[in-house]
Amino acid sequence: MSLVIRKSTVEILCAAKWIFRRDCRLLSTLPEKTEIVVDEKERIPGRKTRSYNPILENRHVYPEFLPDPNPNWRNSLREKMERADMLKRRSQIDIPEFYVGSILAVTISDPHAQGKTNRFVGICIERKGCGLRAEFTLRNVVDHQGIEVRYELYDPTIQSIQVLRLEKRLDDKLLYLRDALPEYCTFPLDMDPEILPEGTPVPINPVQVKLKPRPWLERWERQELKGVSNIEEHLKEKDRVRRELRKTPWEKYDLMKNYRKTIPAEEQSEIWNEVYNQLQQMRVSRKKMSRKRTVTTPKTQLA
């Protein structure tokens, strides 16, 4: 009983306090409503974020349409001509969406190959360059021999680029696959394409590779890699000390350094407004074509 009474007294006290506060408010000269408005006004600037333009998401899909951020090399007219040429090339060949870590099959026409074409399958370990100079590197292990081929994205000798598995990895560059065990970059040349259902986000493959023992091509331990599991095994105390000495934790706060590496959002939206419609049209027409093909191929098989 006593407990109950105590509880109830506490409640009563609370209620009384609340009523008292309300009364006080009523008594005060400021009306209640205006106070709420003031509260909202104070909150707005903090929570409100700039309206985000969805067209800017293209920067992940077509990074080569953004120019080099070095202002000494920039010229608006040259960039415009370059983009026009890129779109012209894209009207001839389907350059699909792919990322570092995706597995691609590239067919090029090669005057020295048998049948005058050459096909290579591999994992994309690097994408670099902008404009018509954009290039990507494929890596595969064929007959226990690591092979890397660098292709230019807008080279007119490329006959087709096919994405066999669309996925991302944990790092921006997979150059450490050169020092990893060969099973991590061995892919059969007759791999079948895996088709993702429409509208799914690109999956991120969380696989962590194992490195071979030293010597390595680069000092991987200093690069803060997420996709390597056994890097600590191969390190000596000396390497750990030097890694600590070489760390630059202030660099992520260097706002101007980050600014000079990127293209500002206003300039990006100008670029995407210029090219997006054409890119979208191409994509839609390609989809229609591929649907037709998928419909027609079983028929021929049946026949």
Partner 1 sequence: MATSNMKLLCSVLNKMRIDHITTRSINSPPRFRPPYWYLPKERVMSDEMLTQENKDFLEEVKQDKLNLQNTLESPLIKSETQETLQWTPGTRRTGLIARKIGNYPLWSKDGKKFQTTLLQVVDNHVIKYIPPEEFKPMKTSKVVWKEKRKLGCLLVGSETIDPSTVTKEYCGLFNTVGMLPKRHLCRFMVSPQASLPTGTPLFATHFRVGDYVDVRAKTMDRGFQGVMKRWGFKGMPASHGVTKTHRRPGNIGAGGEKARVWPGTKMPGHMGNRWRTLRGVKILRINTKHNILWMLGVAIPGETGAMCYLFDTVLPLKKLKTPPPFPTHPPADDLPLEYYDDSIHLFEEPTITFEES
Partner 2 sequence: MNQADVSKLVSKLRIKVPPKHRKLSSPQGPEGRLNKLRKTVTGLIKYERIELNYRRADEARQYAERLISEAISHGDCHKPTMEIADYWLLEKQLVHKLFKVLVPRYENCNTAFTKMYKAPQAYYGRHIDKAVLELRGNPYPTLTNKQSNNRLLLQNVLLDAAKYDYRQAKYAEMAEKLGKTEEVKSGQSNEDRNKPSN
Contact between 82 and partner 1 by CB under 8 A: the answer reads: yes
Least gap, CB of 188 to partner 1 (angstroms): 26
User: Which entry of partner 1, partner 2, none binds 91, CB below 5 to 8 A by partner kind?
Assistant: partner 1
Structure tokens at 195: 């088709």
Q: Is 92 in the site for partner 1 (CB under 8 A)?
A: yes
Shorter beta-carbon distance to partner 2: residue 50 or 236? 50
Quote the least distance from Cβ 130 to partner 1, whole Å. Answer: 10
In the complex with partner 1, which residue's Cβ is closer, 160 or 223? 160
Q: Which is nearer to partner 2, 11 or 85 (CB)?
A: 85
- Nearest distance, CB of residue 190 and partner 1, angstroms: 23
The residues in 51-80 that bind partner 1, with binding defined as CB under 8 A, are 72-75, 77-78
What, of partner 2, partner 1, none, does residue 288 touch, CB below 5 to 8 Å by kind? none
Pick one of partner 1, partner 2, none as the site partner of residue 150 (Cβ within 5 to 8 A by kind): none
Q: Choose the contact partner of 245 out of partner 2, partner 1, none; CB within 5 to 8 A by kind.
A: none
> Is residue 116 near partner 1 by the rule CB under 8 A?
yes
What the block records as the tokens of 104 is 């691609």
How many CB atoms lie under 10 A from the CB of residue 27?
A: 7
156 binds partner 1, rule: CB under 8 A: yes
Which residues are near partner 1 by CB under 8 A?
72-75, 77-78, 81-82, 85-86, 88-89, 91-93, 109-111, 115-117, 131-133, 152, 154-159
